[in-house]
Amino acid sequence: MKQTVLFIIIISAAFPVRAIKKVACIGASITYGATVNDREHNAFPAQLQTMLGNGYAVSNYGVSGTTMLRKGDHPYWATKEYQQALQSNPDIVFIDLGGNDAKLINRVHLSGYQQDCRDMVQAFAQLPSHPRIILLLPVVSFVTDTTGIWDRVIMRDVIPRLQEVAYEQHLEILDMHSLLVDKPALFPDKIHPNAEGSGIMAKRLYAQLIVPQDRQFDIFPHITQTSTTSSFYGYACADFTLNGHACKVVKPTIAAKGHPWIWRARFWGHEPQTDIALLERGFHVVYCDVAELLGNSVAINTWNQFYALLQKAGLGKKAAMEGMSRGGIYVLNWAAANPDKVACVYIDNPVLDLKSWPMGLLGGRPADPPVLAQFKEDYNITTDEQLRQFKGSPVDKIKEIVAGKYPVLILCADADEAVPPEENTLLFERRFKEAGGEITVMHKPGFKHHPHSLPNPAPIVTFILSAKTHALFIVQ
């Protein structure tokens, strides 16, 4: 008997019991699973439990109709579920309150939303478990009745307030709005996602919990230039200059392992949904303004200096590159000169041949005189013959770009009137494939040059996360 007891003790010491992590899901009817068939199994907290497995205990504390606002028509604060959630002393808390706050009856109290949100966050933060707290932006509403849960109010008044709290409190924040904005068929009553929509939400929460993080890394102390800090959609952004060029570095709430990053080439903050989605996942977002140098040697040399600064600050060796419109020139000209520093390229209605724009020599559109004058100055061009013989565009650097062996994604509006696809994307795609490069062109039939990106950036994000150097992040 003594030997048996000793054996059990040894086994227990060698294989200690792993503590189960408690997850509390705070929210209203979408959290509860209202209208979802078999909500006990198909509400998003239940589906999250299935995905996480036995190492987690997910509790659904959703109460239909409730608000974050204390002065709302049905404040979550007054529910027994709120007290039960606090008493559970959770390790992880998801807070999804804001949709009902967009109702007409509650809009008059929205000035108090931030403070009520701060107070709820602090109520959980001060628990003995000191939980990881993650805010969820409200799911899209497809209702057209402006007295109800009106999506315009969610986007204009609720989401910015949540982002403000996330910035102040250094909280993770997940965009559930963009995640489902292109899926109205999954909302039978236009407000509540069905089981499939709830599954998409659960999968996003699951991915956030399992991606390896580096909680110790903070890039800001490693930026030696004098900087100012502000909020970029709920994330801390450092602004500084490098040899006279304006620079920005946005850090995630918690950095992902390996410190991945995306480099925005041009038009900072325009259609930022991809950047925001990557910040959620622990990427940094960076920018160095070299407008309007159109990818010339000065632009490339300036970016080389910026890259060296970011390397010294601790970011991963290879960047995901992002360029919209003329940003495609900046991205690929730098990538051609630095093939070993690029993880992947995402470009959007890109300029890929400067003879198309701004020169207007290919017939698809006229020249752009002001930009053409700047282009001539950038490249020291003085004659029309030099324009016709110009060979400094990405379409002229296919060999150098393909040599980098990184994948390229192009989002192409088929009716683009500003950057004709035939002279840019389609020409580049054909030559790239002939050279053996890996390229995907995602077409947007009927769309013009604007808007860029996609309302739901999931396909773009999937491409970036699936690039070889970001294999850790394939789970969406």
Closest CA to 181 of 157, 197, 158: 197
Closest CA to 139 of 164, 110, 167, 159: 159
pLDDT of residue 471: 42
Distance CA 386, CA 379 (A): 10
State the DSSP code for 401. Answer: H
Distance CA 27, CA 67 (A): 8
CB 173 within 8 A of CB 94: no
Q: How far is CA 53 from CA 16, 49, 210, 300, 473, in A?
A: 18, 6, 12, 49, 20
* 418 residue type, one letter: A
* Ordered per-residue pLDDT tens for the chain, 476 residues: 444 444 444 444 455 556 899 999 999 999 999 999 999 999 999 999 999 999 999 999 999 999 999 999 999 999 999 999 999 999 999 999 999 999 999 999 999 999 999 999 999 999 999 999 999 999 999 999 999 999 999 999 999 999 999 999 999 999 999 999 999 999 999 999 999 999 999 999 999 999 999 999 999 999 999 999 999 999 999 999 999 999 999 999 999 999 999 999 999 999 999 999 999 999 999 999 999 999 999 999 999 999 999 999 999 999 999 999 999 999 999 999 999 999 999 999 999 999 999 999 999 999 999 999 999 999 999 999 999 999 999 999 999 999 999 999 999 999 999 999 999 999 999 999 999 999 999 999 999 999 999 999 999 999 999 985 444 444 44
User: CATH fold of 220-473, please?
Assistant: Rossmann fold (3.40.50)
pLDDT of residue 16: 53
Provide CB contacts within 8 A for 383, sequence distance 6+.
none
pLDDT of residue 467: 87
pTM: 0.93
Taking each helix axis from N to C terminus, what angle separates 80-87 and 113-125, rounded to the nearest 10 degrees? 40
3-state secondary structure of 26: strand
| CATH 3.40.50.1110 boundaries in the chain | 19-210
Distance CA 416, CA 439 (A): 20
Can you name the residues that pair with 324 across neighbouring β-strands?
Answer: 348
- Tokens for 343, please give them: 């993880």
pLDDT of residue 476: 42
What DSSP string runs through 49-106? HHHHGGGEEEEEEE-TT-BS-TTSSSBGGGSHHHHHHHHT--SEEEEE--TGGGSHHH
Length of the chain: 476
| CATH 3.40.50.1820 boundaries in the chain | 220-473
Output the CATH code of domain 19-210: 3.40.50.1110
